[in-house]
């Protein structure tokens, strides 16, 4: 069965997309740790990030750099932190999280639940800064 991220890539379910190329898609996390939290996924459906071939793993990070710079321009923060977890969705992805303090990237704390309108506006703003 296709992963939820493959369904987003194939436009079978909606997401707040901020960037795309032929290999990768970046979109807002629906339950962010902080405002601006994005996910970057390879279009190729591979569960574990370290099972990606070297070229794809490197290109994922290069693509993520462009997205991180755009988030930085959009959301006030000290820098963008990255994390790989993958315990919930079995489709490799990088978390890009705007950081103002260490707790901003604490995955144990309660997630936010932004409105559709907030997510739409934020995705548009990040997209414009790419
Ligand atoms: P993990 O697999 O542990 O790295 O976590 C998966 C992340 O994907 C979580 O932060 C979820 O909030 C996020 N997520 C799950 N479903 C969606 C979705 N449909 N759109 C955007 N983000 C999602």
Report pLDDT digits (tens) over 80-121: 999 999 999 999 999 999 999 999 999 999 999 999 999 999
Ligand 1, atom 12, residue with closest C-alpha: 31
58: pLDDT strictly greater than 90: yes
Looking at ligand 1, which atom is closest to the CA of residue 4?
Answer: 19
CA distances from 124 to 27, 39, 121, 127 (A): 11, 15, 5, 5
Element (H, E) at 31: none
1: pLDDT strictly greater than 90: no
Specify the number of domains making up the chain. Answer: 1
Query: 93: CA distance to ligand 1 center in Å?
Result: 9
pTM assigned to the model: 0.98
Query: 30: CA distance to ligand 1 center in Å?
Result: 7
CATH code at 124? Answer: 3.30.428.10
Query: 29: CA distance to ligand 1 center in Å?
Result: 6
pLDDT band at 73 (very low <50, low <70, confident <90, very high): very high
Range of the domain at 24: 4-128
């Amino acid at each position: 069965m296709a992963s939820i991220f493959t369904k987003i890539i194939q436009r079978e379910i909606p997401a707040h997309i901020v960037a795309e190329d032929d290999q990768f898609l970046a979109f807002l996390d629906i339950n962010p740790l902080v405002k601006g939290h994005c996910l970057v996924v390879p279009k190729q459906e591979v569960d574990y990030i370290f099972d990606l071939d070297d070229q794809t793993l490197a290109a994922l990070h290069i693509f993520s750099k462009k997205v991180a710079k755009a988030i930085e321009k959009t959301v006030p923060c000290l820098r963008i932190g990255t994390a790989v977890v993958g315990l919930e969705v079995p489709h490799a992805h990088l978390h890009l999280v705007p950081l103002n303090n260490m707790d901003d990237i604490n995955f144990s704390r309660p997630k936010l639940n932004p409105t559709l309108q907030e997510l739409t506006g934020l995705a548009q703003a990040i997209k414009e800064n790419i």
